[in-house]
Structure 1
Amino acid sequence: MTLKSQLRAPDMNLPEQFDLSNKTILVTGAGDGIGRVASLTYAKLGATVILLGRTVSKLEAVYDEIMAAGYPEPAIIPLDLQGATVSHYEQMAATIEEQFGHLDGLLHNASILGNLRPFAQITEKEFNQVMQINLNGALFMTQALLPALAKAPHASVVFTSSGVGSKGRAYWGSYAISKFATEGMMETLADEYSNSTIRFNCINPGATKTAMRAKAFPAEDASKLKTAEDLMPLYCYFMDDSSTDINGQTIKAQ
């Protein structure tokens, strides 16, 4: 399936219906929010999770949770996407291939919001910071990991989009532009690799109880929002072999 569309999540029950045994999955922004919950859930389903993030203490906390639960031992990659270069991604990819042989899944979860402000007030520094993490990091990391992904029987790359990544919204300039570009990157990759064993899709998580959401909507009643745990069936579906025919899609989690 390669036709561009905004689909809603397919009907699913619990994450436990999926089997990620013997899969190696890299999660960016794994220290908290959706990334943390996805890492724990993938590990629960049998995957060896590579935890990537900038705050070592948060990654270690997730590592400890996974080990305490008796799930497969994860790996930790401390990396600040803000300062990461192509060389860093290439070294990381070489290490992953050496230690694991291939990569079955890649969840690009790490993002920053920047500041919500009028378009005329967007600064060069802020714009570059948002694009560096939300777009450039995902692009060059994916590029470096393509050989490892190609060695997997079926590999899945999942980018994170947003409602403002398909329809722009006033004052969301930097973030919205980064997410429009992310969807474009995903679609380009999906078309280019349409005859390969690698599939590329986006998840739009929607309004979710996370620190980023709280920053964007400080007056919102967070108790009414979906939690990261609520979204996990979709995140697991995209890493499971049952989704091998889904390619080039942006799926709304809510």
Structure 2
Amino acid sequence: MTDETTEQTPSSTANGRLAGRIALITGASRGIGAAVAKRFGAEGAHLILVAQTVGGLEEIDDEIRAAGGAPATLVPLDLRNFDAIDQMGASIYERFGRLDILVGNAGLLGTLSPVGHIAPKVWSETLDINLTANWRLLRSFDPLLKLSDAGRAVFVTSGAASKHKAYWAIYSATKAALDSLVKIYAAENEKTNICANLLSPGPIRTSMRAKAFPGEDPETLRTPEEITELFVELASADCQRNGEIVEVPR
């Protein structure tokens, strides 16, 4: 992990709804993950930002600090490196002793094609990022979330998980499996301090959306920044929702 922490002057973030809470966000260098990172920073959280690109992470960190937020801990990581996820969990325990918020946002579209035309490499890569990496995150961070007074886990899903639309097999299948995984994890933690939910953002102006719908006018879609309020609500210590698929109101 790259430690970007420096001495900070008091700011309004000290009174934010996530003040003092430690939040890890995957896919944090762009799109929804970047917007959530900036919002959580504005709400006073200490951020652990995970993405593949160092430059992208540094850019988001600069924006957070420019807005008065605390410097983030930056973790350049390919989530398919599953052993590194375990190492990250150990490092977070040694440094912070707990994790308050886990946001599993990183995801891949895969390829939109008939089932019989999906390349095995594309299938494996999409499954690894959309499902297996999130299971590894839960496996590694479950003990850390339990050490929080109010552990909160939020995973980004999609309405495609239940629509069974032609040519969307790999994306839909991995998101449907993620839904089941998180709901079961939530059920296992009904009597603990952990609440785990899924958030379905709907059509959002992101690069993944543009890839899936190349003819769509992005100006007709909401920006990632417009949906961050619900992430804050689900990450807050006073949130009692558990095991739900929460859709962003349109």
Identify which of 140, 144, 166 aligns with 2:136. Answer: 140
Q: Is the 1:18–1:240 contact (alpha carbons within 8 Å) kept by the matching residues of 2? A: no
Q: Is the 2:18–2:43 contact (alpha carbons within 8 Å) kept by the matching residues of 1? A: yes
Q: Does 1:248 align with 2:216?
A: no
CA displacement, residues 102-124 of structure 1 (integer Å, 9 cap, x when unaligned): 11000000001011001121221
Q: Is the 2:27–2:105 contact (alpha carbons within 8 Å) kept by the matching residues of 1? A: yes
User: Which residue matches 1:35?
Assistant: 33
The unaligned stretches of length 5 or more in structure 2 are 1-14
User: Which residue matches 1:156?
Assistant: 152
Matches of 1:233 and 1:176 in 2, distance apart? 25
Runs of 4+ in 1 over 6 A off after TM superposition: none
How far has the Cα of 1:242 moved from its partner? Answer: 2.9
How far has the Cα of 1:73 moved from its partner? Answer: 1.9
Q: Is the 2:103–2:153 contact (alpha carbons within 8 Å) kept by the matching residues of 1? A: yes
SS of the aligned residue for 2:99 comes to coil
TM-score of the aligned structures, taking structure 1 as reference length:
0.90
Q: Is the 2:79–2:85 contact (alpha carbons within 8 Å) kept by the matching residues of 1? A: no
CA displacement, residues 166-223 of structure 1 (integer Å, 9 cap, x when unaligned): 2221100100000000000011101111111111100001000000000000000110
User: Which residue matches 1:215?
Assistant: 211
Supply the AA of the counterpart residue of 2:47: V
Supply the RMSD in Å over aligned alpha carbons. 1.2
How far has the Cα of 1:69 moved from its partner? Answer: 2.0
Higher RCO (C-alpha under 8 Å, 6+ residues apart)? 1
Supply the AA of the counterpart residue of 1:106: L
The unaligned stretches of length 5 or more in structure 1 are 1-16
Supply the AA of the counterpart residue of 2:89: A
Matches of 2:153 and 2:183 in 1, distance apart? 12
Matches of 2:164 and 2:149 in 1, distance apart? 37
Matches of 2:61 and 2:94 in 1, distance apart? 21
Within 5 Å, give how 1:107-186 maps onto structure 2.
Answer: 107-186=103-182
Matches of 2:193 and 2:165 in 1, distance apart? 36
CA displacement, residues 68-106 of structure 1 (integer Å, 9 cap, x when unaligned): 222122100110113x12x21111001111111211000
Matches of 1:182 and 1:234 in 2, distance apart? 19
SS of the aligned residue for 1:242 comes to coil
Q: Is the 2:16–2:42 contact (alpha carbons within 8 Å) kept by the matching residues of 1? A: no
Q: Is the 2:159–2:200 contact (alpha carbons within 8 Å) kept by the matching residues of 1? A: yes
User: Which residue matches 2:55?
Assistant: 57
Identify which of 200, 205, 220 aligns with 1:224. Answer: 220
Within 5 Å, give how 1:184-223 maps onto structure 2.
Answer: 184-223=180-219
Task: Provide the identity percentage.
Answer: 35
- Aligned residue pairs: how many? 235
User: Which residue matches 2:67?
Assistant: 69
